[in-house]
């Protein structure tokens, strides 16, 4: 059995980026993953007993809501691809069916709390997380963040980069057909309490700007995965009650040191959990 994203996963024993032989978080959802090079079934909606969705590369993913079966139809996927990005849509659908909120985001750990990093596709989420990992800051997740109650659940133990970060000495290996450089992450707790939210932006100099709860709520509501599935308004309100910040930093590798210092100072002042 392997674990990630609040899932207990069978069928991915060859995926080393997933935790093995550890106690799964309370409430973990069982999922059995398999691959079939066969004609896929026709599409089916998310609110049915099963979901069938065509992925961006033409493969089809079928998920059983009650059974927990996840089947990829198409050419076989290598283990590095199953770790990321193909496990992500499985995690998103299963956790949204379970009533959890998921976001296209990453998360790192500061003073025992998980801080979620959100931004667009070119906002530098993975670069920031890899730079923090190089400073021995624990990274909880990249690509998908799953919130279960007031906790954030750990993802696969890797961060994928489009290009190397100069001056950090990060050990990487080519994955996904050598289109990405993968940083392997050490083990981390399977779930940690949510500290708050960090929204990434590019700008002239590093700056952290606090956000009010109403603004955080509006942004989270707009960024949750699969908005066609219902969300619990009370759960979203509870998530938005945690501190939120806009983090602005320049597109300059040399600014990563200043960004890290700014994060450490601001998050240390955020205070204890309620």
- The pLDDT of residue 120: 87
* pLDDT at res. 16: 95
Tell me what pLDDT residue 2 has.
93
- Is there a single domain that holds both residue 149 and residue 230? yes
Domain boundary among 74, 100, 126: 100
Q: What is the DSSP letter of 190?
A: S
Please give the pLDDT value at position 210.
96
Predicted pLDDT at 271: 61
Range of the domain at 124: 102-268
pLDDT at 269: 84
pLDDT score recorded for residue 225 = 95
Q: DSSP assignment, residue 268? A: H
pLDDT < 70 regions, the chain: 21-25, 271-274
The 8-class DSSP code of residue 238 comes to H
Could you tell me if 184 and 153 lie in one domain?
yes
Q: What per-residue confidence (pLDDT) applies to 189?
A: 94
* C-beta neighbour count of 200 within 10 angstroms: 21
Rounded to 5 degrees, what are φ and ψ at 163?
-150, 155
How far, in Å, CA of 72 to CA of 234, rounded?
Answer: 34
Beta pairing partners, 107: 116, 141
User: Within a domain: residue 232?
Assistant: yes
- Upper half-sphere CA count for residue 48 (Cβ side, 13 Å): 10
pLDDT of residue 25: 67
Instruction: Look at residue 207 in the predicted model and tell me its pLDDT.
Output: 95
* 71 shares its domain with 159: no
Boundary residue ending a domain (100, 125, 153): 100
Query: Which helix H or strand E contains 140, and what residues bound it?
Result: strand 139-141
**Together in a domain, 211 and 85:** no
Alpha-carbon gap, residue 77 to 262, rounded angstroms: 40
Does 163 fall in a domain?
A: yes
Strand order in the sheet with 180-184: 158-161, 180-184, 172-175
Task: Tell whether 10 and 135 lie within a shared domain.
Answer: no
Residue 273 lies in a domain: no
Strands 29-36 and 60-64, bridge-based pairing: unpaired
- What pLDDT, on the 0 to 100 scale, is given for residue 26? 73
Token pair of 70 as six digits: 């996840």
SS3 52: strand
Please tell me the pTM assigned to this model.
0.94
Supply 142's token pair: 């990249």
Q: Is residue 229 part of a domain?
A: yes
Please count the structural domains in the chain: 2
């Amino acid at each position: 059995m392997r674990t990630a994203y609040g899932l207990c996963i069978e069928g991915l024993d060859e995926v080393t980026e997933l935790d093995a032989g550890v106690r799964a978080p309370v409430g973990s959802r069982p999922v059995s993953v398999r691959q079939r090079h066969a004609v896929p079934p026709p599409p089916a909606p998310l609110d049915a007993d099963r979901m069938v969705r065509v992925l961006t590369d033409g493969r089809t993913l079928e998920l059983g809501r009650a059974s927990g079966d996840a089947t990829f139809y198409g050419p076989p996927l290598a283990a590095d691809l199953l770790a990321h990005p193909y496990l992500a849509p499985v995690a998103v659908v299963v956790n949204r069916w379970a009533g959890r909120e998921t976001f296209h985001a990453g998360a790192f750990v500061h003073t025992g709390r998980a801080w979620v990093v959100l931004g667009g596709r070119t906002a530098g989420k993975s670069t920031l997380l890899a730079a923090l990992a190089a400073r021995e800051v624990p990274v909880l997740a990249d690509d998908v963040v799953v919130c279960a109650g007031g906790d954030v659940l750990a993802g696969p133990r890797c961060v994928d980069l489009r290009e190397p970060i100069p001056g950090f000495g990060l050990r990487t290996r080519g994955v996904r057909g050598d289109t990405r450089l993968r940083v392997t992450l050490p083990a981390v707790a399977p779930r940690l309490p949510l500290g708050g939210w960090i929204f990434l932006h590019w700008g002239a100099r590093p700056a952290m700007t606090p956000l009010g709860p109403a603004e955080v709520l509006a942004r989270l509501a707009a960024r949750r995965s699969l908005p066609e599935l219902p969300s619990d308004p009370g759960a979203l309100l509870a998530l938005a009650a945690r501190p939120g910040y806009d983090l602005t930093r320049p597109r300059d590798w040399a600014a990563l040191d200043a960004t890290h210092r700014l994060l450490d100072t601001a998050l240390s002042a955020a205070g204890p959990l309620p």
